[in-house]
Amino acid sequence: MPTLFSLRGIARAISRDRSPASAPLSSPLISSARMLPTRRLRPSGAWQRLRASALLRAGLALAGLSLTGASQAVDFGPFFITGFAKVEYQRGSNHCPNCQRFPGQDKQRLWADELVPGTPYGTRSTRVTLFQPYLGARFDLGQGFKVEGLLSQRWRDGKEDIPGFYYAKNVALSHEDFGSVRVGAMTTRAWSIADFPYGTNLGVAESWGSSGAGYGLLTNALRYTSRRLDVAQGDLVLEATYDRGNTDFRINKPRFIELFGQYYRGDLVIDAMYQDSRNGNPQAWGHGPFTGLTPSSTDDAKLGGSGQSIAMAMARYQVDSKLELTGGVRRNRWSGAYAVITQPGASAQWNNMFNVDWNGTLGGVANPGYPATSVDLLLGARYRMGKWIASTGMVYLGKASTANPSERGQSNSALINTAVLHYDFGNGLGFYGLAGLVHFGQKGLSPMSMPGNSAFTNVDSRVTRSGNWVGAGVVYVF
Taking only the tens place, the pLDDT of each residue in 60-91 is: 332 222 222 344 678 889 999 999 899 999 99
Residue 8: predicted pLDDT: 39
Read off the pLDDT of residues 244-272 as tens digits, 9 standing for 90 and up: 999 999 999 999 999 999 999 999 999 99
pLDDT score of 26 more than 70? no
pLDDT score of 432 more than 50? yes
The mean pLDDT of 16-45, rounded to a whole number, is 30
Instruction: Give the range of the structural domain holding residue 303, as residue numbers without chain letter.
Output: 7-477
| Closest to 34 in 3D by CA, of 121, 91, 100, 95 | 95
Categorize the per-residue pLDDT at 37 as very low, low, confident or very high, splitting at 50, 70 and 90: very low
Residue 75: predicted pLDDT: 85
Instruction: Provide the pairing of β-strand 179-187 with 168-175.
Output: antiparallel
DSSP 168-207: EEEEEEEETTTEEEEEEEEE-HHHHHIIIIIIHHHT-III
| 158-186: b (≥16 Cβ within 10 Å) or e | eeebbeebbbbbbebbbeeeebbebebbb
The Cα 308–Cα 284 span in angstroms is: 9
What pTM did the predictor assign? Answer: 0.85
In a domain, 408, yes or no: yes
| Closest to 273 in 3D by CA, of 232, 318, 215 | 215
Task: Answer with the residue of higher pLDDT: 342 or 57.
Answer: 342
In a domain, 337, yes or no: yes
Mean pLDDT rounded to a whole number for the chain? 87
In a domain, 41, yes or no: yes
In a domain, 102, yes or no: yes
Residue 349: predicted pLDDT: 94
The mean pLDDT of 200-227, rounded to a whole number, is 97
**Distance separating the N- and C-terminal Cα atoms of the chain:** 26
Dihedral sign for Cα atoms in the order 465, 91, 195, 186: negative
The mean pLDDT of 468-476, rounded to a whole number, is 96
Look at 3-7, 169-173, 348-352, 434-438 and tell me which has the smallest mean pLDDT.
3-7
The Cα 392–Cα 475 span in angstroms is: 19
Number of domains present in the structure of the chain:
1
Residue 309: predicted pLDDT: 98
In Å, how far are 171, 318, 388 from 430, measured between CA atoms?
31, 23, 10
Q: What is the CATH number of the domain that holds 338?
A: 2.40.160.10
In a domain, 1, yes or no: no
SS3 per-residue string spanning 265-299? ECCEEEEEEEEEEECCCCCCCCCCECCCCCCCHHH
| 56-68: b (≥16 Cβ within 10 Å) or e | bbbbbebeebbbe
The Cα 43–Cα 128 span in angstroms is: 9
Read off the pLDDT of residues 151-197 as tens digits, 9 standing for 90 and up: 999 999 999 999 999 999 999 999 999 999 999 999 999 999 999 89
Share of the chain above pLDDT 90, in %: 81
- Run of H or E including 28: none
In a domain, 2, yes or no: no
The Cα 162–Cα 281 span in angstroms is: 15
Task: Answer with the residue of higher pLDDT: 40 or 114.
Answer: 114
The Cα 339–Cα 140 span in angstroms is: 52
In a domain, 112, yes or no: yes
- Run of H or E including 52: none
Read off the pLDDT of residues 358-381 as tens digits, 9 standing for 90 and up: 999 999 999 999 999 999 999 999
Residue 72: predicted pLDDT: 62
Amino acid at 93: S
Share of the chain above pLDDT 70, in %: 85
In a domain, 414, yes or no: yes
